[in-house]
Structure 1
Amino acid sequence: MKLAIKKILLSAAAALAFSSCSLEEDPYGFLSNDNFYKTAADAESALVYAYSVNSDIEYYSRHFIIATEVPTETLTIKPDAGADQHALDRLEVLNNNKIVEDMWRYPYLAINRTNAVIQNVPNTPEMDDTRREEIVGEAKFLRALHYFNLVRFFGEVIIREEQVSSVDQVNKGVSSIEEVYNFILKDLTEAEAVLSTERVYGRANQVAVWALLSKVYLHMASAKNTGVQGYEWVSNADENYTSAANYAKKVLQDQSTYTFENDLMETWNVSNRATAREHIFVSATDRGGLIEGEYTKLPMLFMPWAEGAPQVVLPNGTTIPGGGWEHLWIEDDFAANYEESDRRGTLEMIVNKVTIPEGGNDGADLELVYPGGGLQATFPMKYLDPDMVGQQATCDTPILRYTDIMMVYCEAIGPNSETYALLDQIRGRAGLSPLAGGMGIQEFRDYILEERGRELAFEGKRLFDLRRTNSMEKVLGDQYGKPMTSGIYYFDIPLIEVDTNPEIN
């Protein structure tokens, strides 16, 4: 079955590549359905088209990481980067910020494609009924994911349930945060009912739905519990914590495809990405792609320039290309936050030294170090592809990861022997001793917030974790001394949308 689906995907992608006259998209993201959705292959192609937005430069392959990590304590930006990125770093975010604009535009671009699938595939003739339902279910999962991103970035946003195919359909007002969450939960519940736990690389399945549901309920619960503005409508935080725990438990206990990876480095081994035990859902890329979006240049944002050397050797012996952009820098204070024995810090997962073979004046190896010795900053092992082709990389952006859901479960349940054991499993992989125990529930949840920062660093989770726990000032301001002016808990809807849509006030 898996091979059959993969063959369908390949043929669908090929069909889409050569059918621009049938399924066209102008710069506003409008789709034309003329002469399309006539066959099962058309339906598969449309779904591939919907997935493809995820790996765009302006979304998960680059700008999403900038938008969710640079405003926090984890990453900063090189001095000559664009003004909009430095504004994010300082949390002086205006409504004309181009990175934030992309966090509005690309989810809606993707939503329009999913709406086209949801609206048209049910009427596509000569399709297997089960596969028809699965395609619609995958599209509803994607739509829910994009709305979850939008509501966490902006708060009140526009709910678009139907495909937008003309400018006349653009004008629409925003819905309340409550209405957006109800829409997300409806999509995910309907997707859960028709998807199976079967794994297809880069695609959503029932386990991905459970994982996303656990995160949606946790966001509502923690935002209500900590008094985040905009979540007053949540009636009971404990009920939502229970729902988060129930769905996270399904991920941990009701399937066997994904599990905890004991080898810290193996989760980030791009050679085994299709079978990685932890990655429930990713934005998938391949260095063999024809255009950026099919491949990614995300590693270039982190990799060292290293005097433009063709190759550099990492402390663990891995060889990667030199000539990186050194665009995103790990914050010094954040790197120092790891215990000395924590393998996720500079002991293993944060690189502060590389070697250029025969790079010295006398032909000896040249060592570059940070600070003060040739590297501009430290960089993570998470986003590296030793087999890059030029600047083209295979480097999936993690969206839903098993360890993330383990911590969702622990946070939702609170301290007991089971949750301590799960957290000790994560700590043990990092080379740390077990927790002492005895924490009250708020102390326990505060610890998990810190642990999520260390474990999920640079994966596009930190801004949302700090926002949902009402911790932006406490962590960024009080602990790290980060200035904050605007865009702290919500970004403003981009000016370009406000100017073109008069129903947004």
Structure 2
Amino acid sequence: MKTIKYLLILLTLASALWGCKNELEEKVYDFYSPNNLYKTQEDAESAITGMYGYLHSWNFFKAPYLFGEDVDHDHVVGPQWIMSDMGAGNFNNYWGTSALWVGWYSLVSQSNITLEKVPGIKMASDSVKNRILGEAYFFRAWSYYNLTRLWGPVPLRLENVSSGAPIDLARAPVTEVYNQVIADLQKAEQLLPLRFSPNAGAAGKVNRGAAKTLLAKTYATMASSALNAEQLTVRGKTYTKDVVKGYESLDSKALYTKARDKALEVIQGGEFNLMPTFMQVWGRANKNNPEMIWELQTQDNDTYGTLLQYYYSAPWYGGTSYQWMSAKLYDSYTAKDTRAVDGVFHQYYMYGAWMLYPERDTTLYKSVSGGFTAKFYPAYSHPFTKKYWLGASTEIGATGTTVRAGNRDCDFPLLRYADLLLIYAEAENEINGPTQAAYAQLNKIRERSKLAAASGLNKQEFRSLVFEERGKELYQEVNRRHDLIRWGVYLQVMNDLGTDENVIKTRSDKNLLFPIPQDEINSNKLIGVNNPGW
């Protein structure tokens, strides 16, 4: 295939540290220009491929998608120099906040161009054209789903300025944005092929199941946000839920019914399933397994590699000490829970010494292969996740920390079947209480983790258990902040923490939404003032 040319907004780091001040620089690197292309099927395929490739830019997986969304919650901590901006609620101090806005709207723009140009292109078959259009509808829906969750009301651009749309555009209400997300996903699920269809395209392409899954998550987000005065227990304390601003007019039960039914379509479709063990979900050898509904595809190079192993894994295993699981989260796992027993590094080498975690299991983890002894060091022993460790023997030791320790061939779960099962259990409980059907899906997650099947709970207890299981199962998969917010307990939970392991968790109303980039406010005369407090 000919070389793909596309427009990328590339962030140039002013320092080797990801948190330092950055500048935006435009380069011809990613998306197709609408003026001289979109004439052939190959043009259309290349344009869609460019959208997947753009996820590897500095607007997404090189940093902002992870550090912009997944450090602002109660389950992650790290050194102050890493956590002092987004991790401490100082969203406007982090360059990635604006980069994410640019990234999502770049995907919207490319989707709009594709939806405008592709219908007029002659292709080998309608199935190919339908898939390309389905992918464009999906990407636009996914972009607005994230934009409205992060910024609330946002400009709803369904045509580009190059096609005659106005530069200045007011922000659309949250409900209007979600209506468009739903409409686009409904079109996507009609047009996209099944996962193993001959026309499904390469691994990592979105498929009909991905559209249905995102639609179920969209309905559940709207439904939970609209609930009022329900109670949720987090770490032993019961909170009374607030309605999320902008969702007041929504019918929670009707939306939960749609979430449950759409999730059930995926479950009954048989294309996806849980892997037998938790650790079989992860690692280079387990790419694109049946649990991964949509997975970011990576390569072992700086262009299409991710920094997941580098950011999250333990030192000595290709990782740094950038961030780790909070002790409170680790302590919430039971002694037999394989997500902690197998899914966390219990020994690693750092600063000339072998370290272990947790201290209470010193007898279990003190002996290291080779005759070494590991110890617990309060300042340096932490629970690092194994999710994003590549898992090969060649990644262990000095080679893993000095050679190819940056961008690696480490995929990321954008939509995972375990998430969908928990969405089903949540929705069924909110509609009918903890029925046998709700227990069945929840217990699939628990039993795989070597936990006893849940039973005998009331509606509030079941809701709280599902919320707890989401936190344990989906740690560092860009879900926790959104779960706290859609359940209306973000401020309560974070402020009860105050400071956790020297990380400031105190938040105010302004932290419910990200600040709109000043460049957007300056250039869009109708966007109005920034989000409250920014």
Superposition TM-score, scaled by structure 1 size:
0.84
Distance 1:169 1:224 in 2: 32
Shift of 1:489: 2.0
- Cα 1:489–1:409 change in 2 (3 A) is same
Shift of 1:483: 0.8
Q: Are the aligned partners of 1:344 and 1:455 in contact in 2 as well (CA < 8 Å)? A: yes
Q: For 1:421-460, list aligned pairs within 5 A.
A: 421-435=440-454, 437-460=455-478
Report the 3-state secondary structure (helix = DSSP H, G, I; strand = E; otherwise coil) of the residue aligned with 1:399. strand
Asked if 1:303 corresponds to 2:313, the answer is yes
Asked if 1:351 corresponds to 2:345, the answer is yes
Q: Are the aligned partners of 1:122 and 1:132 in contact in 2 as well (CA < 8 Å)? A: yes
Distance 2:68 2:333 in 1: 23
Q: Could you say which residue in structure 2 is the equivalent of 1:309?
A: none
Q: Could you say which residue in structure 2 is the equivalent of 1:98?
A: 95
Shift of 1:458: 0.7
Where structure 1 has 5 or more consecutive residues not aligned to the other structure, the ranges are 1-10, 307-319
Asked if 1:385 corresponds to 2:385, the answer is no
Which of 404, 422, 439 aligns to 1:420? It is 439
Report the 3-state secondary structure (helix = DSSP H, G, I; strand = E; otherwise coil) of the residue aligned with 2:80. coil
Q: Could you say which residue in structure 2 is the equivalent of 1:73?
A: 74
Q: Could you say which residue in structure 1 is the equivalent of 2:13?
A: none
Shift of 1:244: 0.1
Distance 2:139 2:88 in 1: 31
Calculate percent identity across the aligned residue pairs: 28
Which of 398, 406, 412 aligns to 2:421? It is 406
Q: Could you say which residue in structure 1 is the equivalent of 2:298?
A: 285
- Cα 1:182–1:352 change in 2 (3 A) is same
Q: Could you say which residue in structure 2 is the equivalent of 1:5?
A: none
Q: Are the aligned partners of 1:53 and 1:109 in contact in 2 as well (CA < 8 Å)? A: no
158-167 or 396-405, which moves further after superposition? 158-167
Q: Could you say which residue in structure 2 is the equivalent of 1:316?
A: none
Q: For 1:134-153, list aligned pairs within 5 A.
A: 134-153=131-150
Shift of 1:366: 4.7
Q: Could you say which residue in structure 2 is the equivalent of 1:315?
A: none
Letter in 1 for 2:110: R
Report the 3-state secondary structure (helix = DSSP H, G, I; strand = E; otherwise coil) of the residue aligned with 1:198. coil
Report the 3-state secondary structure (helix = DSSP H, G, I; strand = E; otherwise coil) of the residue aligned with 2:154. coil
Distance 2:446 2:327 in 1: 22
- Cα 1:457–1:126 change in 2 (3 A) is closer
- Cα 1:238–1:119 change in 2 (3 A) is same
Root mean square deviation of aligned Cα: 2.6
- Cα 1:16–1:186 change in 2 (3 A) is farther
Letter in 2 for 1:66: F
- Cα 1:126–1:277 change in 2 (3 A) is closer
23-32 or 201-210, which moves further after superposition? 23-32
Asked if 1:464 corresponds to 2:482, the answer is yes
Report the 3-state secondary structure (helix = DSSP H, G, I; strand = E; otherwise coil) of the residue aligned with 1:484. coil
Q: Are the aligned partners of 2:70 and 2:481 in contact in 1 as well (CA < 8 Å)? A: yes
Which of 479, 484, 494 aligns to 1:476? It is 494
Q: Could you say which residue in structure 2 is the equivalent of 1:232?
A: 248
Shift of 1:237: 0.7
Asked if 1:491 corresponds to 2:491, the answer is no
Q: Could you say which residue in structure 2 is the equivalent of 1:212?
A: 214
Report the 3-state secondary structure (helix = DSSP H, G, I; strand = E; otherwise coil) of the residue aligned with 1:398. strand
Distance 1:365 1:500 in 2: 64
Letter in 2 for 1:488: N
Aligned residues: 457
Q: Could you say which residue in structure 2 is the equivalent of 1:88?
A: 86
Superposition TM-score, scaled by structure 2 size:
0.80
More strand by proportion, 1 or 2? 2
Which of 255, 270, 273 aligns to 2:284? It is 270
Distance 2:187 2:125 in 1: 19
- Cα 1:473–1:485 change in 2 (3 A) is closer
Distance 1:172 1:273 in 2: 41
Where structure 2 has 5 or more consecutive residues not aligned to the other structure, the ranges are 10-25, 197-201, 229-242, 355-368, 396-402, 500-504, 529-534
Distance 2:8 2:422 in 1: 40
Which of 256, 262, 266 aligns to 1:241? It is 256
Which of 327, 345, 369 aligns to 1:332? It is 327
Shift of 1:474: 3.2
Letter in 2 for 1:478: D
Distance 2:39 2:416 in 1: 36
Letter in 1 for 2:246: G
Shift of 1:367: 5.2
Q: Could you say which residue in structure 1 is the equivalent of 2:38?
A: 37
Report the 3-state secondary structure (helix = DSSP H, G, I; strand = E; otherwise coil) of the residue aligned with 2:387. coil
Q: Are the aligned partners of 1:177 and 1:231 in contact in 2 as well (CA < 8 Å)? A: yes
Q: Could you say which residue in structure 2 is the equivalent of 1:190?
A: 187
Letter in 2 for 1:58: N
Which of 112, 136, 155 aligns to 1:158? It is 155
Instruction: Summarize deviations over 1:253-300 as a string: whole Å, max 9, x none.
Output: 12x2211112111100322303x111001222111x4x43x1112211
Distance 2:492 2:80 in 1: 26
Shift of 1:372: 3.7
Instruction: Summarize deviations over 1:132-166 as a string: whole Å, max 9, x none.
Output: 12101111111101110111101101111123449
Q: Could you say which residue in structure 2 is the equivalent of 1:54?
A: 55
